[in-house]
Every structure is written in C-alpha cells, then in structure tokens.
Structure 1
Amino acid sequence: MTASPPLVRVEALGPQFAERARVWASRLGLPTQAEGAQFALQLGEAGLQLQLLEPQAPGPVRVDFVEGGAAHRRQFGGGSGQMIAKAVGIQPGIRPSVLDATAGLGRDAFVLATLGCEVVLFERQPLIAALLEDGLARGREDAEVRPIVERMVLRTGNAIALMRDWEGEPPQVIYLDPMFPHREKSALVKKEMRLFRPFVGDDLDAGALLEQALALATHRVVVKRPRKAPTIEGAKPGYSLEGKSSRYDIYPKKKLTGAT
C-alpha cells in the first residue's frame, strides 16, 4: 500500500506575487489555504520554491541556473573532462542530442547543455516540473545563461509513456538517474531528497524505464547509480565509469561520430 501524497499549499511571499501564485495553484490543482499542510510551494522574489513546513526544516529548494552551484559548475566544473561528459560521449566535434528522462532539478541536463548538447528533459512529478519550468524561465532572463537554457526543452509526464510515443528524430543518448531505495544512513543526505522523496518515492519501474530507453536511443543509454548500487534489472551495461560516490553504467548501441 502506498502512502498518501503530502498536503501542499501555494503561498505568495508578498501581495505582488498573489496573482501568479493563484495561477500556479490552479495549474497544479493545489489549495492556497490549507490547515495542516506539510509543504508550501512559495512564489517570491527568488522565483518558485518548495518549503517543508516543520520546525528546524531546511531552507527552501528551487531551481536556479543563474547563481549558486549551477553558476560555479558552469564556470569551474571541468568542462568536457567531467565524468558525465565522458559518459554521454562528448568528444571534440561530438555533442550528442540527449534525452534526460529523469530530469529532477535539471542539474545534469544543465551541465550537458552548457557543454553544447541539445537536451530534452522529462519530469513526471508536477511539483518538480513546476520548479524546473520556473528555473528555465528565469534562466532565459539572464544574458549569459539564456543560450544554455535555450538548448533545454522540458516536457512533463511519465517518461516511459513519453518515450514510447516519441515523434521525430530520436535522441542519440538517453540519460537516466532513477531514485533508488535508500538506506537509513543515507536518508538525510541532501535536503532535496528529504523534500522530494515523499512525492517521488523510489523508481520501482526503473527496469521498464531502461528497456524503453534502449528501444529509443540510437547510440547509447547512460544510467547514473550510487557507486556501490547494483545495476538496474534487465540488460547489462557494456562498461561503467566510476567516481567517488557515483558511477555511470553505459549501454552502447552505436559509435558516436562527429557531424559529416
């Protein structure tokens, strides 16, 4: 039996944001007043953010491609030498088209778009997709970030169904980073996980996700996993790239080549 989803209300952090907050509430089917809500989706100066409503709760989570960690990684992240770049097959003259089928907060997709890839993002959880949509909109308002986020296209929905119904040129590379069952030790690792796990749960359909990705991708599928976690059930990866805390399992189909 699955737990009921937590109660979320939408709040405006100031009267000037009230109308936009009402629009988000209507779009997402959420109340603006709710006694006993466990979370608040807040709209304010910094954009849209999700806040856990409990004593000693961590600060809000938002998608920000302009400041903070995204800006630092954009400027000092190691460019095409990063492990994720190697995993998806970025090389001199090769920038594959990528589908990030488990987009989350869009961090990995943003790195790939920064390096020049065209990236489609799928996110099935409407609240997380809303944070992503807001972050992309704010990114388009920044002169330096605009060219990057213009390479990112967001679609909300179940990735398995969206891949099955894909129309047009298929992606060369599909990137998967499914939520994995957590152990007690790692349950409080990141505030994002604390906030999102009640909404997202574990990706118990990861095997079906991989199977559909292998059917659609033309060149390779890449799965990000915790370093010591087992591979996803189903086809076995051709090889893996291992880092300190995570690893990339690569399922090659065809060699990536530069534009002719």
Structure 2
Amino acid sequence: MSDFSPCTVAVSWLLPELEQPARALATHLQLPLQSADTTTAELLLQVGSDGLSLQATAAGAPGAVRVDFVEGALAHRRQFGGGTGQMVARAVGLRGALRPRVLDATAGLGRDAFVLAALGCEVILIERQPVIAALLADGLQRAEQAGGEVAGIAARMHLLQGDAIELMANWSGPIPEVIHLDPMFPHRDKSALVKKEMRLFRPLAGDDLDAPALLAAALQLASHRVAVKRPRKAPAIDGPPPSAQLSGQSSRYDIYGKKKL
C-alpha cells in the first residue's frame, strides 16, 4: 500500500444503449455513475462497444487505456516477441518443454502473464486495484470471445481480484512453482504508451510500498522460485538477497531460487 491520496473515479458510458451496463458496473465496483459531459471525476472507467477503457478527464490528458490481448502490441509480441528467449520467460524458468505453474501477484494490465500463457504456462493473476482488475477482466473476456489461438491463451489465465499478500498467506489451490512480481515503480521507459499508463495508474494505485511484505509472502508460497522485475539500477527489495539477476536495457529481474525447476 502507499500513503498517497487516491484520485476520484467514476463509471461512464460511450453510447446511450450502454448506460445500463455502466450502471451495473458502477454498482459492482461501488463507484459513482456520471455522464462524460457532466463528470467531476479525475478518471472515467468508460463502457464502450469495444469494451472498458480508462480515461483521464483533465485538459491535455493522454488517450484512454484498455486491455487488448487480440490486436496491437500484444498480438505483435505473441507472433514476433522472441519466444522463450524473452527476459520474462527466462526469469520464470521456461526452457525446453518446461512450463511451470506461475502466479503473477501484481498483474496490472496482464502483459507479462499473457506472454507466459502464450508460451504455454498456466498463469494465475492477482490484481488488487479494483478498476485495473475490471479492465483486465474485460480484456480476458474479449480474448475468450475472439476464439482461435488468443482464446486458448486466455483460457490459461485465471484472474483473482484482491490483496496478493492476504491471498498468498491463505492459499488453498495448487502451489505455484514460480511467483512473478512487478511492484509499481517510477518507469523511466520513454515510450508514449508507458508514459500514458503511468499517468493514469500511479494516481489510481500508488507505489507498492509494501513490496518487502509482498516478497516475503511470495517466498513463503512459491515452491521453486520468485522472479521480481525491477528498474535496472534500482536496489533490490528489502529482504534476502537475490540468488541471480537478469538485466535488460531498462529493467532487470532479481531471481530468488528455492530449488531447481
């Protein structure tokens, strides 16, 4: 958790016929319902014909963010991303036919989880921020409805909404062999997409100041390893030192091995 003041969020609709689904979503998330032209909220969770999107309302705000596993950047990465040579795949331990059970305890928009599921892993995702979880659930639903390869990938992704530390402490399902963590940190990536998402998500979710407790809970639960994504030059999370590291241009993985996969 963090000590920041969360921004205000409301649910809205982009077409008149979608007001009723927006009303149901607002009730489910316990958020106010506001029309886009009269809103006083800083962020709008918008129900549109192509799914949910999150839009800032301030003048000069970036465009809306949505989860899309079917087209765009993730479709390109699925087809041309480098397979098991990608850093996240190496950090989790994919090699040969080995596909460990993975828990992504800081799911966000589900990109890393999608890459792992596309490579054949069963992935459980945890997202504690309800609005981000709603975007992710909507993206998964649309992927399932798309059919074909993408639907098969989405079928290997299972979303839980809640606090990862509590859920891991009270885990009752199959023990994940690997836990993937990507606590919120100040991204220095120059891409417009990352800037846009961070401008929306940081006021919404804040920084993960409980990262040491998150790491401790992951180390307690994972049977084989924990892989933690960090800025390339950032210190490791407080706790035991990592047993290995993988470094990329802007980020790295601290790997905490418990036993060999």
- TM-score interval for Structure 1 and Structure 2 normalised by the shorter chain: over 0.9
Does residue 145 of structure 1 match 2:150? Answer: yes
1:1-260 pair list within 5 angstroms: 2-33=3-34, 35-143=39-147, 144-180=149-185, 190-256=195-261
Name the SS for the 1:50 alignment partner: strand
The one-letter amino acid paired with 1:24 is L
User: How far is 1:4 from its partner?
Assistant: 3.2
User: Equivalent residue of 2:146, what SS?
Assistant: coil
Q: Deviations over 1:50-82 (max 9, x none)?
A: 000011111100100001111000010001111
Mapped partners of 1:148, 1:229: distance in 2: 32
Q: 1:215 to 1:153 in 2, by over 3 A?
A: same
CA shift for structure 1 position 141: 0.9
Specify the SS of the correspondent of 1:105. Answer: coil
Q: How far apart in 1 are the matches of 2:115 and 2:250?
A: 18
SS of the counterpart of 2:142? Answer: helix
Distance 2:40 2:146 in 1: 37
3-state DSSP of counterpart to 1:42: strand
Does structure 1 conserve the Cα–Cα contact (< 8 Å) formed by 2:6 and 2:205?
no
Maintained 8 Å contact 2:187/2:194: no
Give the C-alpha shift of residue 2 in structure 1. 3.5
Letter in 2 for 1:76: F
Q: Give the secondary-structure state (helix, strand or coil) at the position aligned to 2:21.
A: helix
Matched residue SS, 1:190: helix
- After superposition, the CA RMSD in angstroms is 1.8
Aligned residues: 254
Q: Give, in angstroms, the shift of residue 18 of structure 1.
A: 1.4
Distance in 1 separating the partners of 2:82 and 2:246: 16
Displacement of 1:96 in angstroms is: 0.3
Cα distance in 2 for residues equivalent to 1:194 and 1:204: 18
Q: Which amino acid aligns with 2:173?
A: G
1:120 and 1:169 map into 2 onto residues whose CA distance is 10
Percentage of pairs with the same residue: 64
Deviation (angstroms), 1:167: 0.3
Question: Given residue 51 of structure 1, which amino acid in structure 2 is its aligned partner?
Answer: Q
1:130 and 1:189, CA in 2 relative to 1: closer, same or farther beyond 3 A?
A: closer
Q: Which runs of 5+ in 1 are unaligned?
A: none
1:114-168 superposed Cα distances (whole Å, 9 cap, x missing partner): 0000000000000000000000000001122100000000000000000001003
Q: Which amino acid aligns with 1:221?
A: V
Shift of the alpha carbon at 1:3? 4.1
| Aligned 8 A contact 2:11 2:46 in 1 | yes
User: What TM-score, normalized by structure 1, do the two folds share?
Assistant: 0.94
Secondary structure class of the residue paired with 1:180: coil
Paired residue secondary structure (1:62): coil
Q: Distance in 1 between matches of 2:115 and 2:253?
A: 15
Query: 1:180 offset after TM fit, Å?
Result: 2.1
Question: Is the partner of 1:140 in helix, strand or coil?
Answer: helix
Task: Give the match's secondary structure for 2:145.
Answer: coil
